[in-house]
Structure 1
Amino acid sequence: MAELASHARIVIIGGGAVGASCLYHLAIAGITDAVLIEKNELTSGSTWHAAGNTPNFSGNLNLMKLQNYGNRLYNRLGEEVDYPINRHMTGAVRLAHSKERVQEFEHVAAMANAAGMTMETMSPEEMKDRFFPWMEIHDLQGGLWDPEDGDIDPAQLTQAFAKGARDLGAKIVRFTKVTGISQRPDSTWDVETDKGSINAEIVINAAGYYADEIGRMVGRNVPMVTMSHQYLVTEAVGQLEAMDKKIPMLRDPDDSYYLRQEGKGFILGPYEWQATPHWLTEGTPEDFAFQLYPDDLERLEWYINAACERVPMLMEGGVQKVINGPIPYAPDGLPLIGPAPGLTNFYEACVFTFGICQAGGAGKVIAEHITEGETELDLWMVDPRRFTDYATRKYATVKAIEVYQNEYAMHLPHRPWPAGRPAKTSPLYDTLAERGAQFGDFGGWERPIWFAREGDRPEPDLTFGKPHFDDAVAEEVKTVVERAGILDLTGFTRFELSGEGASDWLDGMISGALPRQGRVSLAYLCAPSGRVVTELTVTRLDDNRFWLIGPAAGYWHDRDWLRQHMPDDGSVRLEDITTRYGTIVLAGPKSREILAEIADEDVSNDGLKWLCAMPITIGTARGMVLRVNFVGELGYELHMPFETMPAVYAQLLAAGEPHGAGQFGMYAMDSMRLEKGYRAWKQDLSSEYTPLTSGVDRFVRLNKPDFIGREALLKQSEEGVAERFVVMELDTADRTEAAYGSPIFVGDKKVGLITSGGFGHRTGKSIAFGYVASEHTEEGSELLVDVFGDMRKATVVPEVIYDPNNDRLRA
C-alpha cells in the first residue's frame, strides 16, 4: 500500500468510481503527481452497493452527452488498462403510459440521434415484438429503445480506473482518513490525515456521502442529503435460465422502477413515494463503509406488484436479497462537478445519485477544469455554483425527498416543484400573491410568472402544448404594449465596482467598450478561449465606479469569476450589494407619464434618454433608474432599496391606475424578449459559444489593446464562424413550441440546435432561437425543426422581429 507523500500537485479525497475516474483522467491528461486518499477500501461508499446501470437517457442534452461519453469509455476501458470488467450492453426499453411521455421520448430521441447516439421511439407492439416479449402492453402508449444502455460491475470499473491511473504514475493511499484541511497564504492546501499531512496545489472533494463533512473542513456547506435507495435481487427465474444472453433492461418511469437481469434472476429498483433521508441530526457515521440499512420492503410493495403485473415471469423468482444503501442527493438530483464556490483551487466531484453512469464523464470534466480552465460542454446543470446561500440543509432535505419521489417524472415546461419554496422573496411577494401572482423559482428567488385572473385556474396543465394560462399571458402582453405593465424582477446579481483602477481593470475584463458616465451597456466576459463566461449590464456611475448586474442564477458564478481576476494591490474593490436592492420594471407607452407623476427628477426623453441611468427619488425612497428593459417597449428598471419597495410599488399602482396600467409576469416577458432577439444566459448564451458565434458582435471591440479572450476572438474573426445564432419563425399549426435541444435540419441533415422557443403574442409568431451551420443562416433560409417528433417548417428571419429600429424603446 502506498505511503502518504508530503506533497502532490493534486489530492483527491474519496475512492469510489468518481474519485478513481478523476485520478485516471488527470493521469491521461498528463498530471501524474496526484494522490487519491480513501478512508477505507476503494469502492467502500455508495459504489460497492450500486446496481451499476449505465443509461444514456436524460432530458438535458449535455448531461446525456456526459453519460454517453462514460458508456463508450466503459466499452473499451478494460482493454485499455488491461483489467477485465463485467460489462453488458443489453439495450433498454422505456415505457410510456401517456401521450406526454411519448412526446418526451420523441424529444430525447431526437436530441440523442442528433448528438451521434441511437435511440428509437416505437409503438408498444413493436417494442414487445422486437425487444421485450415478456411484458404486458395493454395500457401503454409507446416506448423508447436505447441499444447503448446496459450495466457494469461498479467495483471492477473503479479498480480499472485505479489500475490505469497507477500505471501512469498516480498514487492511491487507502485506509487513511482526512481529518482537516487548511489553506496557506500561497493558496495551496494542507490536507491533514491520521497518517500525516500532505500539501497540495489543488484538492478535489469526491467523498460521496461524506462530501459534506469534507466541505465543512473548508467552510463550505455542501447542499446534499443522504437518501436510502432499495433494490431487490430475485432468485433464479426459469425463463432466464433457458436463455443464452441477457435480456434488455426495462424502465417503467410512470410506475417509477427499473428492472434488469442479474445472473439468472432480476434486479428490481423502485423510486418509491416514501422517500427516506438518513443522518439528518446525528451526522454521517464515523465509518459507514461496506454496510447497509435494514430492509424495508413495505415501502416497495406497490412497485413490486406493478412490476409483476408488467412482467409476469418476475413472480417466478423469490426475493434472494435486498440492498438498502445510502445514496447522496443534491437538491435537484444532479451531481456537483466543478469549482467549489468561494474557494480557490478546490473542486467538487460529489453528490452523485447516478454515480456509476456519470463517473466516466465526471473525471473528464474535472480534468478539463484543471488543465484547460473550462470544459468542452456547457455543464451549468452540474456546476456547484448553481446553488447559492439559500441551499441550506433543510432546503436540501425537502428537495431531495421531492426529487427522489419524482425521479422519473417528466420535467414539463410549466410544472411546479414546490418543495423548499419560497426560499428568497422580494418585499412585494405577499402583495403580489394577493393579486393573483403565480410564482417561479429563479436562482432561489420567487418571481411572478403570470397573474391568475378571476375565474382562472392557477394549477398548470401538465402538457408540452399550449398552456391553459396562455390567454392570461396574452392579456398581460397587451397591457404592456397598449398601456403600461409593472413587473417585480427582484433577484438580480448586483455588485458595485470602485477604486482608482476600476475602469482599467473592467476594460480588460469585458470584450466591448465601457459605457460613458451615466450610461448603460451590455458587456460580455470571455474565457481565454473566447467563449462566453457571462453577460453583465454595466452602469457607469462615475469615472471609477460601476454597477455590474447579472442573472439571478449566476450569483456565485459571477462573483467567483470577478474575484478570481481582481488585482491584489487594492486598486479595485468589489462590493456585493445583491440583497440591498430590488428591481421593479415599468414598461409600455404610458410608463413615462406614470413615472413622471411620482418621481422628483426629470424623466422626460431629454432628462433620461434610452440606455441612460440616474439617481431617482420616489416619495421617501432613493434609488437608481435605468432606461432599459427586456421587453422592447419604452420602459425603465427601478432599482430601489429593499425596504422601500412596497411604498414605491404602491405609488406606481396608484399613478398607473388612471392610465390602465397592470401587472405582468416572466412568461409575458419571455414572449416579448423572443420577439426582440434578446438572449438568455445559460440558454442562448452558452459557454460553448463565443460572442461572435452568438451574434453579439456589436458588443465586441477587437481593436481594444487587450481583454480576456481577445486573441481567440481575433483568430475566429479572421477564420470565420462555423455556426451562428439565428432567429426562426416556425409554422403555427401547433402551439407546441420548440424546446431546448430540438435538432434543426436541412432535409435529413442535422445543421443546428434550438436554444429557446416560444410564442410571440405581439406578432402572433411561433419563435425559436438556435445555432445553425453558417451556410444556412441567411434570412429566408428554410429549415426543419424536430418538435417532439413533429417536423416543423422554420424560416430564418431578421434577428429583431418586433420594432426592429427600436422606435418604441427610444420614444
Structure 2
Amino acid sequence: MKSHARIVVIGGGAVGCSAAYHLAKMGCTDVVLLEMDELTSGSTWHAAGNCPTYSGSVNIMKMQKYGVELYGRLAEDVDYPMNYTRTGSIRLAQSDERMFEFEHVKSMAKAQGLDYEIMTPNEMKDIYPFLETHKLEGGLWDPLDGDIDPSQLTQAYAKGARDLGVNILRFNRVTAIEQTPNGEWRVDCEKGSITCEKVINAGGYRGGEIAAMVGQYIPIVSLSHQYLVTDAIPELEALDKKLPLLRDPDDSYYLRQERDGLILGPYEWKATPHWLDGLPENFASQLWNEDLERIEWYIEQAMARVPILEKGGVARVINGPIPYTPDGLPYIGPAYGLDNFYHCCGFSFGITQSGGAGKIIAEQVLEGESEWDMWMFDPRRYTDYGTQKYVVDKAIEVYQNEYAIPFPHEERPAGRPAKMTPVYDKLKQKGAFFGARGGWERAVWFPLEGDQRPEEQTVSYIDDRRNWNKAVQAECEAVRERVGVLDLGGFTKYEVSGPGATAWLDFMVAGKMPKIGGMSLSYFLSRKGHVMTEMTITRLTEDQYWLISAGAGEWHDEDWLLSNMPGDGSVEFENITDSYGTLVVAGPRSRDLLSKVTRSDLSNKAFPWLTTQPIEIGFSPNILAMRVNYVGELGWELHVPMEFLGHVYDEVMAAGQDFGVADFGLYAMDSLRLEKCYRSWKVDIIHEYTPYELSLDRFIDVDKGPFMGREALKIHKDKGIKERFVPLIVGTSIAEAPYCSPIYQGDDIVGITSSGGYGYHIDKNIALSFVRTDLAVDGTKLEVSILGKRYPAVVGKEPLYDPKNLKLRDISL
C-alpha cells in the first residue's frame, strides 16, 4: 500500500470510480481509491441503472447528457464491455399542468441540443402498444433515455482509472481521517495509513460516516427503495426489440423492460428511513426484506396502465438503501470549513449522474471550479439547521414527491419552521404565507386586508390560476407609492477588520473600495475571472467593514473569504449573521416614517444614498442603517440586534400608520427587483459568467491595480464577450418565462432566460436573460419560448423602472 498520494478517493461505487477516472483523464494519476468491500458495493450494485437526461434544472440536464454521451463510448475507450441500451422513454401526463412542465423542459432541452418530443396518447400507443391511454393528456419522448448495467459501468471506470495509473484498494475500510500540522490529510485504513493533499468523500450512503471522521455532519439519510422484477411475459418474448422505458410521474412509478420481463419501480408515499442510530458495520451487498404492502397501490396503477404486467409473476424484489438529502440532490464540492476535503456523495440517481459527477468533482479539485455552476449540489447549501430531523423530514417529502411537478413558487412544508426571527409570529398573526430561504422563514405574501385567509397557496405555471397575484400587486403598490416593510431574516453578514483588511479586500474585489461611511456593491472573482459571489461592502472605519451577501450563501461565502485570507493575522473575521436581523423600510414615505421613530437626521444632505450610519429606534441602540435596498426606492435597510428586532418592527409599523405602511413579502420584492434589473445570486449570477457577460462593467475597474482574476478577466475581454445580460419585455401575460427558457431570433436559439416575473408597477412581463452580444441592444426584437409557445419579446434598457435612479437618490428632475 502506498504511503502517500496526491488525492485519496473514499468509496468504490459508480461515483467514486468515476471521480478517479476523471481525475486521471485530466492528468492527475497520483490517486488512490479506497473501498471497504468490493467495487460496486453500497447502492450501486442494486441500482436499476436507468439513464435519463430529463431534468427541470439545466445544469443537471447538462451533466446527465454528458453522462449518456460518455456511456456510449466508455466501453471502447477503456476496452471493457458493458450492457448499455438506449431505448428512449415516454413520460405520461395526466393533467395540463404536467403538459406545461413537459413543454418547458422540452424547450430547455432543445437549447442543450436534446431533441425531446411532445406526444399524443395515440402516438405513445404506437411505440408502446401495451399502453392503456385512459386519463392521459399526452406525454414526452426522450430519445436518449435507456439503461446500463451499474456494476459493469463501475468496473469500466475502474479499469480506465487503473490503466492510467490510479491505485484501487478493495476490502480496505477507512477507520479514521485526520489533518496533519502541515495541512495534509492522513487517512487510516485497515491495511495501513496514507497521507495525501486532498480527500474526496465518495462514500455513498456512508458519506455521513466519512464526514463524521473529520468532525462534520452532512444531512444525509438512507431510505428504503423497492423495485420488483417480473418473470418472463409472453408478449415481451415475442418482441424483436426492447420497449421504451415508461414513466408515469402522476402515479409515481417507472416501468422498464428487463430481458423478457418488466421492472416496476415506484416512489411511494410511505417512504421509510433507516439506520437513524448509525449504519451497521458490514452492510455492503445486502438487502432488506421485501415489503410489497407499501407499494401495492402503485402496482395496481401500473397494471391498469400496462395490463401485461399482471401476467408476469414476481421473480424478485429489490429492497435496498439509497441515500437522500433534504432536496434529493447529491453533495458535490468543498466541505465547509475544511481545506482540500471534498464531498461527492448522497446520490439518489447515482448511475445516470456518475459520469457528470466525476467530471465536476475532478474539475473542482484540480482547477478550483467546474465548467458548470453546480450550486444546487454544493455541500454548503445547508448550514446549521441541517440536522438529522431536518434531513429525515425533508427526505421523506422529496421521496414522496420525486415525480411531482416542480411548480414555481411552491413552498413545501416539511422541515419547517427551522429558523425564525422575532418578527415571525407577528407576521403569522397577520396571515402571512411563508417560505424557507437558507433555513430562515420569510414571508412571501400577505392576503389582502379584509379577505379571508386562503386555506393554502395555489401553485401553477399559469398566472391567473394563482391566488396571490392581486395581493402581491397590492404590496408592490404600497412600496412604490407609500412605504413597505420587509422582515429579511438570515441576510448573511460578516465583520472584517484589522490593519490588513483594506488591502486584502481591495485585492479580493474587482471594483473600487468604498470610503468611510460609504458602501459599494462588489464582485469577488475566481482566478479564472468568473463571478464567485456578490457582496455589499460597507466601510465603517478605516479598517473595519461589514460584508453582506445572500442568506443562502452564508457558508459558501465564508469559505471563499477564509480560504483566501492572508496568513499573517492582519485580518480578523467574524460571522455575525445570527446576531442581527434586517428590516427593509422602503418607499417614497420611508423617510417620513423613520423620522418619527429616530432622532437621526435622514435628509439627503445628512444621510446620502449609499451611505451608512448608526441610529437609535425605541429601546434599540446600535442599529446600523444603510441607505440602500433591493427594490429601487428611497429607503433603508435597518440591521437591528436580534434581541431588539421585534420591538423595532412594532415601532416602525405603529409610526407608519399615518403613511399607509404595509408589510410586503419576497414575491413582491422579486417583482420590484426585476423592474430594476437587480441580479439574484445563483439565479442570474452564476460562476459560469464573467462580470462582462453579466453586464456589470460599471462595477469593474481593471486599472485599479492587482485583484483576483484580473489577468484572466482581461483575456476574456480580449477574446470578445459572446453574450450579455439584458432585460426582455415579453408580450404575454399568460405566464412568466420560467428559468432557462430559450430565446429565439427566427429559428436560431440566441439566448436563455435566467429569471422572470411580472413587473406590477410597469405592468409588463419581464425576463432577465443572456443573449448574443450583437442582439443585446435596446429595441431588438426576439421571441421567448414559454411553456412550448413562442411570444414576442423586445430587449429593454436597464433599469426598466426609474432609469436614472432618481427615486433611490430622492431627487427630482
Alignment TM class, shorter chain as reference: over 0.9
CA distance in 2, matches of 1:451, 1:714: 47
Q: By how many angstroms is 1:518 displaced?
A: 0.4
CA distance in 1, matches of 2:112, 2:409: 26
Q: Tell me, yes or no, if the aligned pair for 2:601 and 2:607 is still in contact at 8 Å.
A: yes
Residue identity in the other structure for 1:213: E
Q: By how many angstroms is 1:468 displaced?
A: 1.5
What does 1:619-638 correspond to in 2, within 5 Å?
Answer: 619-622=618-621, 623-638=623-638
Q: By how many angstroms is 1:414 displaced?
A: 2.2
Q: Which residue of 2 aligns with 1:437?
A: 432
- Residues 596-646 of structure 1, C-alpha deviations (whole Å, 9 max, x = no match): 111121111111111110011112212100000111111000000000011
CA distance in 1, matches of 2:508, 2:563: 11
CA distance in 2, matches of 1:646, 1:456: 23
Q: Which residue of 1 aligns with 2:395?
A: 400
Match of 2:443 among 420, 445, 448: 448
CA distance in 1, matches of 2:218, 2:651: 42
CA distance in 2, matches of 1:44, 1:683: 37
Structure 2: which 5+ residue stretches go unaligned?
none
Q: Which residue of 2 aligns with 1:160?
A: 156
Q: Which residue of 2 aligns with 1:476?
A: 475
Residue identity in the other structure for 1:150: G
Q: By how many angstroms is 1:415 displaced?
A: 1.8
Q: Which residue of 1 aligns with 2:119?
A: 122
- The answer to whether residue 348 in structure 2 is matched with residue 349 in structure 1 is no
Q: By how many angstroms is 1:462 displaced?
A: 2.7
Q: By how many angstroms is 1:456 displaced?
A: 4.1
Residue identity in the other structure for 1:379: M
- The answer to whether residue 228 in structure 2 is matched with residue 232 in structure 1 is yes
Q: Tell me, yes or no, if the aligned pair for 2:411 and 2:436 is still in contact at 8 Å.
A: no
Q: By how many angstroms is 1:503 displaced?
A: 0.2
- The answer to whether residue 199 in structure 2 is matched with residue 203 in structure 1 is yes
Residue identity (%): 56
Q: Which residue of 1 aligns with 2:85?
A: 88
Q: By how many angstroms is 1:209 displaced?
A: 1.1
Alignment length (residue pairs): 805
Match of 2:405 among 387, 407, 410: 410
CA distance in 2, matches of 1:151, 1:720: 41
Q: Tell me, yes or no, if the aligned pair for 1:71 and 1:357 is still in contact at 8 Å.
A: yes
Q: Which residue of 2 aligns with 1:330?
A: 325
Q: Tell me, yes or no, if the aligned pair for 2:326 and 2:398 is still in contact at 8 Å.
A: yes
What does 1:230-379 correspond to in 2, within 5 Å?
Answer: 230-281=226-277, 283-379=278-374
Q: By how many angstroms is 1:770 displaced?
A: 0.6
Structure 1: which 5+ residue stretches go unaligned?
none
Q: Which residue of 2 aligns with 1:217?
A: 213
Q: Which residue of 2 aligns with 1:725?
A: 725
- The answer to whether residue 136 in structure 2 is matched with residue 136 in structure 1 is no
Residue identity in the other structure for 1:768: A
Q: Which residue of 1 aligns with 2:547?
A: 548
- The answer to whether residue 59 in structure 2 is matched with residue 62 in structure 1 is yes
Match of 2:143 among 135, 144, 147: 147
CA distance in 1, matches of 2:649, 2:530: 39
Residue identity in the other structure for 1:185: P
- The answer to whether residue 704 in structure 2 is matched with residue 708 in structure 1 is no
Q: Tell me, yes or no, if the aligned pair for 2:230 and 2:261 is still in contact at 8 Å.
A: yes
CA distance in 1, matches of 2:766, 2:404: 27
Residue identity in the other structure for 2:530: R
Residue identity in the other structure for 2:401: N
Q: By how many angstroms is 1:719 displaced?
A: 3.4
Q: Which residue of 2 aligns with 1:692?
A: 692
Q: Tell me, yes or no, if the aligned pair for 1:518 and 1:612 is still in contact at 8 Å.
A: yes
CA distance in 2, matches of 1:5, 1:712: 37
Q: Tell me, yes or no, if the aligned pair for 1:735 and 1:766 is still in contact at 8 Å.
A: no
Q: Tell me, yes or no, if the aligned pair for 1:15 and 1:41 is still in contact at 8 Å.
A: yes
Residue identity in the other structure for 1:170: V
- Residues 708-729 of structure 1, C-alpha deviations (whole Å, 9 max, x = no match): 1111222233333100001010
- Three-state SS of the structure 1 residue aligned to 2:347 is coil
CA distance in 1, matches of 2:382, 2:502: 30
Q: Which residue of 2 aligns with 1:669?
A: 669
- Three-state SS of the structure 1 residue aligned to 2:45 is helix
Q: By how many angstroms is 1:458 displaced?
A: 4.9
- Residues 473-502 of structure 1, C-alpha deviations (whole Å, 9 max, x = no match): 111111112211010012111100000000
Q: By how many angstroms is 1:192 displaced?
A: 0.6
CA distance in 1, matches of 2:408, 2:455: 15
Residue identity in the other structure for 2:158: A
- Three-state SS of the structure 2 residue aligned to 1:40 is coil
More off after superposition, 502-511 vs 420-429: 420-429
Residue identity in the other structure for 1:358: Q
CA distance in 2, matches of 1:323, 1:330: 21
- Three-state SS of the structure 2 residue aligned to 1:579 is helix
Q: By how many angstroms is 1:690 displaced?
A: 0.6
Residue identity in the other structure for 2:775: H
- Three-state SS of the structure 2 residue aligned to 1:803 is coil
Q: By how many angstroms is 1:340 displaced?
A: 1.0
CA distance in 2, matches of 1:762, 1:445: 28
- Residues 59-116 of structure 1, C-alpha deviations (whole Å, 9 max, x = no match): 0000011011011100110011000001110000000000010010011111111101
CA distance in 2, matches of 1:193, 1:767: 56
CA distance in 1, matches of 2:661, 2:365: 52
- Residues 526-551 of structure 1, C-alpha deviations (whole Å, 9 max, x = no match): 00111100000100001110000000
- The answer to whether residue 756 in structure 2 is matched with residue 760 in structure 1 is no
Q: Tell me, yes or no, if the aligned pair for 1:438 and 1:458 is still in contact at 8 Å.
A: no
Match of 2:70 among 56, 73, 84: 73
Q: Tell me, yes or no, if the aligned pair for 1:530 and 1:709 is still in contact at 8 Å.
A: yes
- Three-state SS of the structure 1 residue aligned to 2:489 is coil
Q: Tell me, yes or no, if the aligned pair for 1:414 and 1:460 is still in contact at 8 Å.
A: no
